[in-house]
Amino acid sequence: MKKIKLSSLFILSLIVLSACSSDDTPDPVLEEEVITTMTITLSPNGGGTDITLKSQDLDGDGPNAPVLTVSGDLAAGVTYNGSIELLNETENPAEDITEEVEELSDEHQFFYTITGGLDVTTAYTNFDGNSNPLGTEFTLTTGAASSGTLTFTLRHEPKKPNDGSLADADGETDIDATFNIDIN
């Protein structure tokens, strides 16, 4: 008799426990610090058409690779004023991450890596509070006609100051995009 009582109590409690559940659907997560898009605008000193380099990865760490676009070739012997814009396009309207990076300039640094015989030089034009390079703004000076790759790397919490190389700076990579560039 007691056994029956106990087992009915058992089943009853199970029902009660299950009944607690409700079927509200959860809210989607707003990804706040994701960077989906990097746009580098190169404006020729003395006027002319801006060249833009863009890396866009709307699915973040999803299976689709970032889409890289280069609007045109660079001209030989020209100095370009470069500026980098970072966006989170998972939000609507897109959130400008550049501001955040510039606010926390002492924790960030852009690095520009040139390979494959591309004849360009770069120089930082904006700095953090300790006068160490930040690099969301820079100049790029082209030499002779050539081609190669230009890689933009944003490091979070690098060693600062560093010798300008990624190997010395360490830190965590927030952005890494390599563009094929031609200089005519």
Candidates 104, 121, 123, 182: give the one binding another protein (CB under 8 A).
104
Verify binding: residue 49, another protein, rule CB under 8 A: no
Dist. CA 176–CA 149, nearest whole Å: 13
Element (H, E) at 83: strand 79-88
Using the minimum distance from each CB to another protein, give the nearer residue, 31 or 49.
31
Cα distances (angstroms) measured from residue 43 to each of 23, 52, 146, 154: 54, 9, 19, 21
Q: Site map for another protein, 58-97, x if CB under 8 A?
A: xxxxxxxxx-----------------------x-x-----
Verify binding: residue 163, another protein, rule CB under 8 A: no
Q: Site map for another protein, 110-149, x if CB under 8 A?
A: ---x-xx--------------------------------x
Dist. CA 56–CA 181, nearest whole Å: 17
User: What is the secondary structure of 44-76 as a DSSP string?
Assistant: ETTS---EEEEEE-TTTTSSSPPEEEE-SPBPT
Dist. CA 36–CA 56, nearest whole Å: 6
Verify binding: residue 30, another protein, rule CB under 8 A: yes
N-term to C-term CA, the chain: 95
Contact residues: another protein, CB under 8 A? 2-3, 6-7, 9-10, 13-14, 17-18, 20-21, 25-33, 35-38, 55-66, 90, 92, 100-101, 103-104, 107, 113, 115-116, 149, 151, 156-157, 165-167, 170, 172-178
